[in-house]
Amino acid sequence: MRPLVFAWPGNEPLAAALAARTGGEVAPLSLRRFPDGETYVRLMTSPSGREVMFACTLDQPDDKITSLLFAADAARELGARRVGLVAPYLAYMRQDARFEPGEAITSRTFARMISQAFDWLVTMDPHLHRYRALDEIYSIPASIAASATAIAGWLRSHVERPLIIGPDAESAQWAAAIAQGTGAPFVVLQKQRRGDRDVAVSVPDIAAWPQHTPVLVDDIISTARTMVAAVRRLHELAMPAPVCIGVHALFGGDALEALRASGPRIVATCNTIRHETNAIDVAGEIAAAAAGAVQSLATFTAARN
């Protein structure tokens, strides 16, 4: 039987890509609130005996997680063969240690919740900081789709002679992959974060590339203060106005306004989170990772049987 793909509101294009790649069927989902604030969930197509996947990117996760867990449990109770989650943006990766006494390490708690509700997970470029891989905290198969190829393709079409600039040492491998895809040089900033909205950056010597367009790349644009500081520093160095690229367009508060006011040439993001800056389509990469996850689990199950 064909896989079923249920889409959370706003995730319909991703659901269509998932269905096309897996030979699946996009199925309707009914979500609403009762007058007392409780959540109503109904799967409008029976999942019995079928592979089920939910397309739900997890920005603003507290508004989604209750209904998502209810839907996953309903699919399992109604006889789904397996239940997977395709979340282009994976929330709750920030708090990966206990910095003050009594703090919840929410990345671990959230991972346990998702691992109990789903059989597999696909996401794109999660914010791995102190974790080397998702399987350190997720107990289900977790596949990561990479954005570097799509970003490199976009750059080849829109930016001549790019100079890829990563925001910090952790971004070096990612920036290198984008640079390799464009045939461009790359450098990495040195960042000092003094608070959520207070960031200082130093730019390494870039005098060797005076005719190149700086391209600042980061996995998440949240407050945008790192990019704002970098754009201003590049301006001080008399470099051309940079292109700013982010994978996940969170843009909290006045982040987008602050970034645009700093003077970049272009602000472009991937469509993992719906936003006005979306210019780089990564649905194909995510759908391919989901198709691979479904096939791998089906092959594993068949071998066991």
Q: pLDDT over 90 for what percent of the chain?
A: 77
Question: If you average pLDDT over residues 140-164, what whole number do you get?
Answer: 96
Tens digit of each residue's pLDDT (9 = 90 or more) over 183-230: 999 998 876 665 555 556 666 677 788 889 999 999 999 999 889 988
Write out the DSSP string of 139-178: -S-EEEE--HHHHHHHHHHH-SSEEEEESSGGGHHHHHHH
Any idea which of 84-88, 192-196, 269-273 has the lowest mean pLDDT? Answer: 192-196
Q: What is the pLDDT of residue 147?
A: 97
56 and 87 Cβ atoms separated by less than 8 Å: yes
Q: What is the pLDDT of residue 170?
A: 74
Question: If you average pLDDT over residues 73-98, what whole number do you get?
Answer: 96
Q: What is the pLDDT of residue 195?
A: 54
User: Which residue shows structure tokens 């989170």?
Assistant: 273
This model's pTM is above 0.95: no
3-state SS, residue 53: strand
Among the listed residues 252, 243, 250, the one whose alpha carbon sits nearest the alpha carbon of residue 275: 250
pLDDT at 303 over 60: no
3-state SS, residue 111: helix
Q: What is the pLDDT of residue 245?
A: 96
Tens digit of each residue's pLDDT (9 = 90 or more) over 236-259: 888 899 999 999 999 999 999 999
pLDDT at 297 over 90: no
Which residues is 86 bridged to in the sheet? 55, 122
Among the listed residues 131, 46, 60, the one whose alpha carbon sits nearest the alpha carbon of residue 89: 60
Q: How many CB atoms lie within 10 A of CB 298?
A: 14
Tens digit of each residue's pLDDT (9 = 90 or more) over 20-38: 999 999 999 999 999 999 9
Q: What is the pLDDT of residue 44?
A: 97
